[in-house]
Amino acid sequence: MADTDEAAAIWSRAKELLLSNNSLSERYKSCISEITPFRCFDNMIVLEATNEFTRLTIENNISNEVIQALKIAAGKDMTFLIHLVSSNSPAASTNSTSADDPNDAIAIASQAHQRNAVPTPATMARQTTQPQNPTFRGVQNQRPGAQHPGVQRHQHREKPHNPQQGTLFDLDAFPRSNAGAQPTNAQQNFQSTAQGFAAAQGTQMPQQGANNANGTTMPGGQNVPGTQTNPYGTNPYDDYSAYPDADMPSTTYDANQGAPGQDSHGFAPLPTNPANGGYEGPAQSAQQPGAGVTPAQVAYRNGAQGNPRQMPAPRRGNQMMGPASPAAYASGYQQHGDMQMSTPRMNRDEETHLNKLATFDTFVAGDSNRFAHAVALAVAETPGKLYNPLCIYGGPGLGKTHLLNAIGNEALRENPSLKVRYANSEEFTNEFIEALRTSSTDPNGVTNFNRRYREVDILLIDDIQFLRGEETMRQFFHTFNALHQANKQIVIASDVAPKNLKGFEQRLISRFDSGLSVDVRPPDLETRIAILRMKAQTSGMEVPNDVLNLIAEQVTDNVRELEGALTRVHAMASLNKQPLTRALAEQTLQDFFSSDVEITPTDIITTTAQYFQLTFDDLVGTSRTKNIAMARQIAMYMAREMTSLSLVDIGEIFGGRDHSTVMHACRKISSEMSEKREVYNYVTELTVLIKRKDSTK
């Protein structure tokens, strides 16, 4: 990118951040608005102002805020300098001098400045202490202990700033509860992110220390605190108690409960099905030597499907879904049969409802989410002061929930006395309705609800797009106002930008818009590989690089799907006690990328019902008997995996069920696939049958 373009891009983001920084007065903001970008020179951006007042106001009063915003916008430490240009003369940016050398840049800027600038007390003070190049300086972070702001805040930049030399993102400029000699988490993350990427790309970062569990390297060889913990073994949605209307209790099944002649789910063994390419029914296959081989593989070996297929490019409606993260296994093992894997353990904090395992340490930042990651970190370090409200939006499975939880966890790590509350919109709604419902018997119901949501320092509301109902909306509006007026931090996550939220009153949308909105986008290849590597490492899986690469190449749009693909290939290898090779991974994944035709929910329900010898109505009906509930959960999982339908849509199709019920089904089946051979077989066989049916239409 050209230096001028880079400057424009960085300043545009930094400006956006500064203008949404609630701690800045309107006067400061109008000064910010008057600034224009000139050029970038390495880690310095030269900005232009048309009057001295603007320049001085920024340099003397809000340089730290500007530096912080630049750091977030650029994704690296930046210094800045502002030179004056006459408002009616061509700006210094028209100067054609090549300024690749930062010293030249300073000279250009210096000339411009000398033409226009009036000496100020601050510049005079600098001249006293910095005799060389007295009129120009880059502005660096204000360091604690600075005694003379005019002198200490501004320093000469005679050579490019080297971020390795101790000027990492300095959040000490902002209130902190535990400022100390140790690098901040934000600092560590910046390093770990950069190094994680370097590692993913096979490059060497300078000043490497000892590797930590994630393969990332911390400054001075430190490990990132908590990197050994399971990052996402559980999810708020795993806490089934939060969803009273979900199917969970009656659909829980036990591997030992199958009646004689039935498999563990109460199904009679299916007869050999010639239509399945000679493949045995699921219960039988589970008991046979070599079980776990899918029909596709049998067919493949038998030549039933012709030559080995190339893996076509994945398509949106046919992607992987793997809600239960493989890394969940790291959180604690519940040994299951011959599997060296575990059932994810819930790690939701009872009071805050935070998933304690979703932290910044376990979040891999890349180009697609670096801005959101940096802003989230800044908010966690200074809640209520910077970007309030903060809205994080983006497609499914891209880390919004993770970031929300990371903000809460990090803020509490910094200041354990903070009150934090995480909730998704459905929990908020349910709790509110419950408070209303019981208000006749419990006069404190609504008061308690309000206390829970209004007497907090940080409120994190996930999936705001699902907020529904006039009363609930009103309640949320008042909650929002109460918190905002008290300068309490609000963070919301949504699948679309606030302005595109459907069914929301304008007054609520405009409140969301009054803060900062940042998006998360699908990760690029390097980031996907880095995520997979981290997930494999934290869950103790040994996955060769070529398998990680294969998965990352095939699954592009959704980190949850990445996890799902990793789960599948690892489950396949574990169940069959085979080494996890690229060939095995290709075989395992090809079933999921082999069809380009649209699969409908009707196909899925019909095939699943036939497969389990049930009826269509059984699957969309209300019966909670064990075998029907289990088949329904599998069908929901297949619908989520093989179509682009949302959780809400799938819930609707399956008899008007709630989206959390679908989500729970998906997580449960995904998790069980790694532990129960028969569940893995059901899913893989059904995948083939559904696609085969589809291709014969």
Q: Please state whether beta strands 36-41 and 44-49 pair in parallel, antiparallel, or not at all (unpaired).
A: antiparallel
129 labelled ligand-binding: no
Residue 645 CB, shortest distance to ligand ATP, in Å, is 13
Residue 568 CB, shortest distance to ligand ATP, in Å, is 15
Give the C-alpha separation, 506 to 477, whole Å: 11
Does 149 contact ligand ATP by CB under 6 A?
Answer: no
Nearer to ligand ATP among residue 557 and residue 563 (C-beta):
563
Does 566 contact ligand ATP by CB under 6 A?
Answer: no
Residue 412 CB, shortest distance to ligand ATP, in Å, is 18
Lookup result for tokens 């008997």: 625
Q: Which residues 6+ apart lie within 8 Å of 401 measured at CB?
A: 235, 236, 355, 358, 462, 493
If 0-12 CB within 10 Å is exposed, 13-18 middle and 19+ buried, where does residue 317 land?
A: middle
Does 370 contact ligand ATP by CB under 6 A?
Answer: no
317 labelled ligand-binding: no
Does 38 contact ligand ATP by CB under 6 A?
Answer: no
Q: How far from 585 is each of 436, 541, 554, 579, 590, CA to CA, in Å? A: 52, 14, 11, 10, 8
Query: Binding string to ligand ATP for residues 219 to 238, with x set by CB under 6 A, is what?
Result: ------------xx------
Enter the tokens of residue 6. 């880079």
Helix axes of 425-437 and 445-454: crossing angle, nearest 10 degrees:
150
Single residue of 163, 196, 399, 522 touching ligand ATP by CB under 6 A: 399
Give the C-alpha separation, 431 to 452, whole Å: 10
312 C-beta neighbours (distance < 10 Å), count:
13
Nearer to ligand ATP among residue 93 and residue 670 (C-beta):
670
The letter for the amino acid at 80 is F
Query: Binding string to ligand ATP for residues 482 to 521, with x set by CB under 6 A, is what?
Result: -------------x--------------------------
Q: Please state whether beta strands 420-424 and 458-462 pair in parallel, antiparallel, or not at all (unpaired).
A: parallel
Taken in order 672, 676, 677, 681, the sign of the CA dihedral is: negative
Nearer to ligand ATP among residue 276 and residue 537 (C-beta):
537
124: left (phi over 0), alpha (psi -120 to 50) or beta: alpha
Nearer to ligand ATP among residue 113 and residue 533 (C-beta):
533
**Interaction residues for ligand ATP, span 437-456 (CB under 6 A):** none
Does 356 contact ligand ATP by CB under 6 A?
Answer: no
Residue 475 CB, shortest distance to ligand ATP, in Å, is 22
Residue 392 CB, shortest distance to ligand ATP, in Å, is 8
**Interaction residues for ligand ATP, span 528-557 (CB under 6 A):** 531
Nearer to ligand ATP among residue 348 and residue 400 (C-beta):
400
Does 670 contact ligand ATP by CB under 6 A?
Answer: no
Single residue of 83, 157, 560, 677 touching ligand ATP by CB under 6 A: 560
Nearer to ligand ATP among residue 276 and residue 409 (C-beta):
409
Q: What is the phi/psi pair of residue 518, to 5°?
A: -130, 145
Contact 38, 91 (CB under 8 A): yes
Q: Please state whether beta strands 516-520 and 390-394 pair in parallel, antiparallel, or not at all (unpaired).
A: parallel
DSSP structure class, residue 422: E
Nearer to ligand ATP among residue 84 and residue 423 (C-beta):
423
Residue 399 CB, shortest distance to ligand ATP, in Å, is 3
Give the C-alpha separation, 589 to 86, whole Å: 63
Single residue of 58, 99, 398, 689 touching ligand ATP by CB under 6 A: 398
Nearer to ligand ATP among residue 265 and residue 560 (C-beta):
560
**What is the rounded radius of gyration, in angstroms, for the C-alpha atoms of the chain?**
28
Residue 45 CB, shortest distance to ligand ATP, in Å, is 27
Does 390 contact ligand ATP by CB under 6 A?
Answer: no
**Interaction residues for ligand ATP, span 296-335 (CB under 6 A):** 325
Residue 364 CB, shortest distance to ligand ATP, in Å, is 4
Give the C-alpha separation, 384 to 420, whole Å: 12
Q: Which stretch binds ligand ATP (CB under 6 A): 8-16, 66-74, 155-163, 357-365?
A: 357-365
Of the candidates 234, 233, 214, 236, the one whose C-alpha atom is nearest the C-alpha of residue 225 is 214
Residue 536 CB, shortest distance to ligand ATP, in Å, is 12
Enter the tokens of residue 507. 């007054």
User: CA angle 113-43-201, nearest 5°?
Assistant: 160
The letter for the amino acid at 652 is E
290 labelled ligand-binding: no
The count of residues interacting with ligand ATP (CB under 6 A) is: 20
Does 360 contact ligand ATP by CB under 6 A?
Answer: no
3-class secondary structure, 40: strand
Give the C-alpha separation, 136 to 581, whole Å: 59
Does 369 contact ligand ATP by CB under 6 A?
Answer: yes
Give the C-alpha separation, 69 to 15, whole Å: 8
Query: Binding string to ligand ATP for residues 400 to 429, with x set by CB under 6 A, is what?
Result: xxx---------------------------
Single residue of 31, 364, 391, 635 touching ligand ATP by CB under 6 A: 364
Residue 362 CB, shortest distance to ligand ATP, in Å, is 6
Residue 232 CB, shortest distance to ligand ATP, in Å, is 4
DSSP letter string, 271-317: PPBGGGTTBPPHHHHHHSTTTT--HHHHHHHHTTT-SPPP-PPP-GG
Of the candidates 509, 601, 516, 537, the one whose C-alpha atom is nearest the C-alpha of residue 211 is 537
- Asked if the peptide bond before residue 416 counts as cis, ω within 30 degrees of 0, the response is no
DSSP letter string, 92-150: GGG------SHHHHHHHHHHHHHHHPPP-HHHHHHHHH--SSTT--EE-PPPTT-S-HH
Residue 494 CB, shortest distance to ligand ATP, in Å, is 8
Residue 663 CB, shortest distance to ligand ATP, in Å, is 8
Residue 329 CB, shortest distance to ligand ATP, in Å, is 13
Nearer to ligand ATP among residue 57 and residue 362 (C-beta):
362
Element (DSSP H or E) covering residue 517: strand 516-520
Nearer to ligand ATP among residue 92 and residue 647 (C-beta):
647
Single residue of 209, 225, 317, 396 touching ligand ATP by CB under 6 A: 396
**Interaction residues for ligand ATP, span 612-641 (CB under 6 A):** none
401 labelled ligand-binding: yes
Element (DSSP H or E) covering residue 522: none
Q: How far from 194 is each of 522, 562, 653, CA to CA, in Å? A: 18, 21, 44
Nearer to ligand ATP among residue 297 and residue 430 (C-beta):
430
Give the C-alpha separation, 172 to 187, whole Å: 11
Enter the tokens of residue 578. 């085979």
With CB atoms as reference, the residue minimizing the distance to ligand ATP is 399
Does 666 contact ligand ATP by CB under 6 A?
Answer: no
Does 216 contact ligand ATP by CB under 6 A?
Answer: no
Q: Which stretch binds ligand ATP (CB under 6 A): 28-36, 145-153, 500-508, 558-566?
A: 558-566
Nearer to ligand ATP among residue 21 and residue 343 (C-beta):
343
**Which parts are annotated binding residues for ATP?**
397, 399-401
Which residues bind to ligand ATP, rule: CB under 6 A? 231-232, 325, 358, 362-364, 369, 396-402, 495, 531, 559-560, 563
